[in-house]
Chain A
Amino acid sequence: MNTLSLKAGIENLPVFLGFLTHFLTERSFSLKRRKEIEIAAEEALVNIIRYAYQLDKPGDLELSFHDKTDKRLEIEFRDRGTPFDPTSMTEPDTELSISERKIGGLGILLIRRMVDGLSYRRQGDQNILTFSILMPEDEIANKKGKTEAS
Chain B
Amino acid sequence: MEIQKKKEDNIMVIAVSGRLDAVTSPELEKELLSIIAEGNKSLVLDFAKLDYISSAGLRVVLAGAKKIKQQQGILRLACLKGVVKEVFEVSGFDSIIPCFDTADSAFKAGS
A binds B: yes
Q: Which of A38-46, A59-67, A125-133 contacts B (4 or more CB under 8 A)?
A: A38-46
> A57 in the interface, Cβ–Cβ < 8 Å?
no
Interface of B is mostly: helix
A13 touching B21 in the complex, CB below 8 Å, given contacts A38-B52, A101-B96: yes
Question: Please, which residues of chain A bring their CB within 8 A of the CB of B52?
Answer: 35, 38-39
> Which of A43, A95, A103, A107 meets B92, CB within 8 Å?
A95
> Which of A32, A35, A103 meets B59, CB within 8 Å?
A103
Interface of A is mostly: helix
Within the complex, the shortest CB–CB distance from B100 to chain A, in Å, comes to 17
A107 lies within 8 A of B69 (CB): no
The CA of A101 and the CA of B51, in the complex, are separated in Å by: 25
Closest partner residue, chain B, to A94 (CB atom): B92
B55 lies within 8 A of A110 (CB): yes
A109 touching B97 in the complex, CB below 8 Å, given contacts A35-B83, A99-B66, A103-B62: no
* Number of chain A residues close to chain B: CB under 8 A: 25
Q: In chain A, residues 96-123, which have Cβ atoms closer than 8 Å to a Cβ of chain B?
A: 96-99, 101, 103, 106-107, 109-110, 113
A109 touching B90 in the complex, CB below 8 Å, given contacts A13-B23, A46-B56: yes
Question: Please, which residues of chain A bring their CB within 8 A of the CB of B33?
Answer: none
- Select the residue from B21, B82, B97 with max chain A CB neighbours within 10 A: B21
Within the complex, the shortest CB–CB distance from A109 to chain B, in Å, comes to 7
B69 lies within 8 A of A43 (CB): no
A96 touching B87 in the complex, CB below 8 Å, given contacts A46-B22, A46-B56, A103-B55: no
Question: Please, which residues of chain B bring their CB within 8 A of the CB of A32?
Answer: 82-83
> B11 in the interface, Cβ–Cβ < 8 Å?
no
> B54 in the interface, Cβ–Cβ < 8 Å?
yes
> B111 in the interface, Cβ–Cβ < 8 Å?
no
Closest partner residue, chain B, to A95 (CB atom): B92
A98 lies within 8 A of B22 (CB): no
> B15 in the interface, Cβ–Cβ < 8 Å?
no
> B58 in the interface, Cβ–Cβ < 8 Å?
yes
Closest partner residue, chain A, to B51 (CB atom): A35
> A124 in the interface, Cβ–Cβ < 8 Å?
no
Within the complex, the shortest CB–CB distance from A77 to chain B, in Å, comes to 15
A106 lies within 8 A of B23 (CB): no
